[in-house]
């Protein structure tokens, strides 16, 4: 990617452990990969790491190299691991693509493309075809990736529906990966901003929300009255600064209903009425009809304008308020409305990082005591490698093909999180998946928590904050967890039989008073569910491990905006005498009661600080 | 006897791989299937075997076969194949 890694602090000058990075293998379970991409050339790479037990079984016309060391595919409807869609190529290059100079999308977002760990190796597991990504193939890819010896798995796949953990192949596969020391990063889903839609809910997975970076792609429209409006789309076409007549879809159709025509539904627009004009459409999908009917361009309405989608011909998108300004201008200048569509440009976005409107929100509907998503990473207008044969938009009329494309989604955030995790692992190869996860979560940078129309969910939208990989290599303390800790957690919400469905072994659940509570799982963020309109007192027990200087003393600090909750930490000081020493503490949150409004919650922040390290954990008390 | 349309791909999850070094996942998977269909048919409905990091298989099953497999002691779970999407 050309900007996002710099934005999160991993730039070309960042301290790296290159020899270990070169021995790090990222497993990418996705739509395949384009092996000939510049981002996957093997210039300067040595032979695959000794631990690699995988193979290049990429199929027909597919060759691996010393960068792309492994490939497998799992579908009967395709004959190679080659990526026909571009998605897997994009995610793989985001996580671990080479440094490639001077790339852009038709001159936009120009720069040096680079993955999070450019010296790392890639193993691609193609599980998706045109029909989607079958879960039997996904499980097969996990089966292979774990045995092949990958270090980190990134899987930018999901469903709008939340599955029970025992029926969720990503949760099952990632559980086995975790037991072998492999951390899995998974996309939160694109079902935002509706609450409780996050589909990746397992506590052993690192779940990625999508956020903005400081590069925003905009396009301007100048109305005939001189007013300029800033739209949100990627429009690479030049109309030579000329203004064109504007026509509303409902005035460009005689055979469709007013609503259908205003939306520019398929078959509604009449070529004779739109030719040489810019068409105003009430829905974004009207762009194809506008294009096909011979319009010069189109102005479209979208629900949210924080993401810029590529459009197949000169067009731009506006959310409700700005779109209505254009509609009013059109109404008030009946026969003489003119618009000038400008080519997209890049501007600095000082509001970043802001969570994306589309990014799936919590609360976690399966385990509400575990905050999901866990962390945010850039996922809006990310420029990365792409398959040159794939379509760049969904429009069948768009014949453009590129080697680097701009995509948005939690799919794009997920490999950023995986790349950051791999970066941490290059400094701490022996750290457990939970320790790496903890280091990323407790060092995450604050998000922009401005209360926009889609940003009210706070931690339920962005988790612990924005990835800060450079800080994450030196977190000071980590919240450790191993297989048995996850089993103990599951035993609190599932019966022993169901726990075994996930662990796949003869794990036993203890009975009686030693079961512990859901608040006691050693997670790097803290959440509890309380009954509405009732006073509450919730205790969390946690253990932190010293991974910083042997002799260090940490003081607890609570940052809370709300007077609804009183939080105490006992003890308030933790003194360590050696590396890897563990200390426990108890956090008690007392409140008079939350309202019974849906998803009512209070938040605070626990910070352990030794003056150098700042170990931050969000605390969320909610009524679920 | 079920026609192909009545069969749907299900994942039969068997959990961790046994420590036993002579364990043959493929014959174990076929053996389980042979308990619910005729032995010469088992290989035809087995679509995938998980055998490197955990144990399990995917097979085209009828509802009845799915139930019978799910009730077997050594089967951890049986769940239907579904489609996920790039995000």
> Between A582 and A455, whose confidence is greater?
A582
* Continuous segment of H or E residues that includes residue A263: none
Q: State residue B2's pLDDT score.
A: 63
Set A23, A30, A144, A306: catalytic member: A30
pLDDT digits (tens, 9 = 90+) for A380-411: 999 999 999 999 998 888 899 999 999 999 99
Spell out which residues of chain A touch residue B77, defining contact as CB-CB under 8 Å: 166-167, 501
Percentage of the residues of chain B whose pLDDT score is greater than 90: 75
Helices A169-179 and A135-148 pack at an angle, to 10 degrees, of: 10
Query: In which band, very low, low, confident or very high, does the pLDDT at A453 lie, cut at 50, 70 and 90?
Result: low
Mean pLDDT of A164-176: 94
Residue in B closest to A503 by C-alpha: B15
Confidence of residue A514 (pLDDT cuts 50, 70, 90): confident
The answer to whether the CB atoms of B83 and A504 lie below 8 A apart is no
Statement: residue A451 has pLDDT above 80: no
Rounded distance, CA B82 to CA A221, Å? 44
Tens-place pLDDT, residues A65-114 = 999 999 999 988 899 999 999 999 999 999 999 999 999 999 999 999 99
Q: How confident is the model at residue A494 (pLDDT cuts 50, 70, 90)?
A: confident
Name the 3-class secondary structure at A405.
Answer: strand
Using pLDDT thresholds of 50, 70 and 90, give the confidence band for residue A497. Answer: confident
Q: What is the mean pLDDT of residues A191-211?
A: 96
Nearest to B85 among A132, A136, A146 (CB): A132
Amino acid B38: pLDDT: 87
Q: What pLDDT does A334 receive?
A: 67
Quote the CA–CA distance of A304 and A308 in Å, as a whole number. 10
**pLDDT by residue (tens digit) across A7-63?**
999 998 999 999 999 999 999 999 999 999 999 999 999 999 999 999 999 999 999
Strand residues in A17-115 grouped as ranges (E): 25-30, 68-73, 100-105, 108-113
The verdict on A394 touching B (C-beta cutoff 8 Å) is: no
Across chain A, mean pLDDT equals: 95
The answer to whether A134 contacts B83, with C-beta atoms less than 8 Å apart, is yes
Choose between B53 and B5: higher pLDDT. B53
The more confidently predicted of residues A233 and A506 is: A233
Report yes or no: A371 and A518 within 8 Å, Cβ to Cβ: no
What integer pLDDT is reported at residue A214 of this predicted model?
97
Displacement of CA A583 from its chain's centroid (Å): 33
The per-residue pLDDT for A197 is: 95
Mean pLDDT calculated for residue range A137-158: 98
A411 is catalytic: yes
A302 pLDDT higher than 80: yes
**How far lies B3's CA from each of B8, B29, B60, in Å?**
11, 22, 11
Q: pLDDT for B31-71, tens place per residue?
A: 999 999 988 899 999 999 999 999 999 999 999 999 999 99
Q: Enter the tokens of residue A276.
A: 């040489």
Looking at CA atoms only, how far is residue A169 from chain B in angstroms? Answer: 9
End-to-end alpha carbon distance in chain B:
39
The CA distance from B2 to A446, in Å, is 58
Question: CA–CA separation, A556 vs A543, rounded Å?
Answer: 13
Contact check, Cβ <8 Å, A143/B13: no
% of chain A exceeding 90 in pLDDT: 87
Q: What proportion of chain A, given as a percentage, has pLDDT over 70?
A: 99
The SS3 of residue A571 is coil
Min mean pLDDT across A38-42, A296-300, A307-311, A498-502 is at A498-502
Q: Which of A6, A87, A191, A464 does the annotation list as catalytic?
A: A87
Bond prior to A503 in cis (omega within 30° of 0): no
Reply yes or no on whether the pLDDT at A364 is more than 90.
yes
Mutation target to probe the B interface, by most B beta carbons within 10 A, among A88, A91, A131, A134 is: A134
pLDDT at B5: 66
The catalytically annotated residue of A212, A411, A438, A464 is A411
The arithmetic mean of pLDDT across residues A430-453, rounded, is 92
Stretch among A241-255, A417-431, A451-465, A556-570 having the lowest mean pLDDT: A451-465
Pairs across A and B, CB distance < 8 A: 102
- Higher confidence at residue A462 or residue A600? A462
Decide if B82 and A135 are in contact by the 8 Å CB cutoff. Answer: yes
pLDDT digit string (tens) for B70-83?
999 989 899 999 99
Is the pLDDT at A431 greater than 90? The verdict is: yes
Position A333 scores a pLDDT of 87
Using the CB atoms, write b or e for A19-40: b if 16+ within 10 Å: ebbbbbbbbbbbbbbbbbbbbb
């Amino acid at each position: 990617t050309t900007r996002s890694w710099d934005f999160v602090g991993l730039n070309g000058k960042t301290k790296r452990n290159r020899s270990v990075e070169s021995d790090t293998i990222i497993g990418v379970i996705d739509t395949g990969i384009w092996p000939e991409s510049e981002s996957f050339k093997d210039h300067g790479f040595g032979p695959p790491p000794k631990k690699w037990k995988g193979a290049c079984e990429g199929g027909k016309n597919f060759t691996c190299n010393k960068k792309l060391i492994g490939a497998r595919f799992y579908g009967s409807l395709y004959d190679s691991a080659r990526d026909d869609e571009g998605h897997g190529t994009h995610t793989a290059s985001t996580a671990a693509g080479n440094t490639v100079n001077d790339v852009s999308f038709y001159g936009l977002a120009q720069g040096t493309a680079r993955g999070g760990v450019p010296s790392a190796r890639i193993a691609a597991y193609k599980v998706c075809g045109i029909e989607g990504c079958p879960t039997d193939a996904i499980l097969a890819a996990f089966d292979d990736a774990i045995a092949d010896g990958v270090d980190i798995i990134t899987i930018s796949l999901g469903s709008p529906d939340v599955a029970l953990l025992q029926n969720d192949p990503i949760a099952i596969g990632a559980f086995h990966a975790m037991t072998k020391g492999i951390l899995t990063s998974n996309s939160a889903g694109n079902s935002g901003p509706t609450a409780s839609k996050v589909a990746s809910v397992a506590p052993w997975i690192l779940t990625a929300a999508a956020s903005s970076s400081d590069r925003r792609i905009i396009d301007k429209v100048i109305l005939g009255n001189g007013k300029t409006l800033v739209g949100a789309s990627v429009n690479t076409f030049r109309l030579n600064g000329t203004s064109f007549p504007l026509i509303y879809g409902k005035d460009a159709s005689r055979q469709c209903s007013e609503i259908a025509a205003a939306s520019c539904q398929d078959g509604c627009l009449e070529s004779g009425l739109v030719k040489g004009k810019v068409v105003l459409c009430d829905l974004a999908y009207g762009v194809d009809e506008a294009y096909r009917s011979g319009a010069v361009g189109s102005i479209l309405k979208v629900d949210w304008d924080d993401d810029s989608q590529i459009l197949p011909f000169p067009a731009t998108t506006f959310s409700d308020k700005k779109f209505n300004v254009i509609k009013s201008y059109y109404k008030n200048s009946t026969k003489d409305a003119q618009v000038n569509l400008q080519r997209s440009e890049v501007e600095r976005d000082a509001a970043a990082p802001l969570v994306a409107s589309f990014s799936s929100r919590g609360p976690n509907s399966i385990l509400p005591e575990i905050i999901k998503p866990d962390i945010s990473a850039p996922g809006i207008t990310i420029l990365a490698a792409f398959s040159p044969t794939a379509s760049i938009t969904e429009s069948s009329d768009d014949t453009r093909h590129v080697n680097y494309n701009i995509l948005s989604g939690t799919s794009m955030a997920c490999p950023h999180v995986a790349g950051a995790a791999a970066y941490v692992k290059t400094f701490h190869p022996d750290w457990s998946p939970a320790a790496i996860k903890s280091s990323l979560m407790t060092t995450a940078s604050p998000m922009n928590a401005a209360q926009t129309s889609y940003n009210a969910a706070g931690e339920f939208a962005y988790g612990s904050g924005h990835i800060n990989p450079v800080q994450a290599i030196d977190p000071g303390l980590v919240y450790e967890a191993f297989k048995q800790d996850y089993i103990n957690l599951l035993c609190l919400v599932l019966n022993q039989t169901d726990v075994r469905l996930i662990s796949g072994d003869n794990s036993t659940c203890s009975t009686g008073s030693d079961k512990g509570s859901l608040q006691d799982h050693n997670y790097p963020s803290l959440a509890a569910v309380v009954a509405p309109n009732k006073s509450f007192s919730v205790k969390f027990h946690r253990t932190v491990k010293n991974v910083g200087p042997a002799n260090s003393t940490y003081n607890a600090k609570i940052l809370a905006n709300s007077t609804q909750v009183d939080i105490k930490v006992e003890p308030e000081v933790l003194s360590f005498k050696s590396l890897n020493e563990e200390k426990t503490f108890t956090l008690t949150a007392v409140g008079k009661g939350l309202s019974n409004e849906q998803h009512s919650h209070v938040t605070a922040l626990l910070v352990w600080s030794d003056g150098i390290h700042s170990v931050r954990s969000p605390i969320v008390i909610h009524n679920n | 006897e079920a026609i192909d349309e009545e069969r749907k791909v299900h994942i039969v999850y068997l959990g961790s791989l046994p420590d036993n070094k002579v364990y043959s996942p493929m014959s174990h998977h076929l053996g389980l299937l042979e308990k619910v269909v005729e032995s010469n048919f088992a290989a035809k409905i087995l679509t995938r075997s998980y055998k490197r990091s955990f144990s399990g298989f995917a097979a085209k099953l009828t509802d009845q076969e799915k139930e019978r497999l799910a009730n077997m002691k050594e089967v951890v779970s049986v769940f239907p194949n579904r489609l996920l999407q790039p995000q």
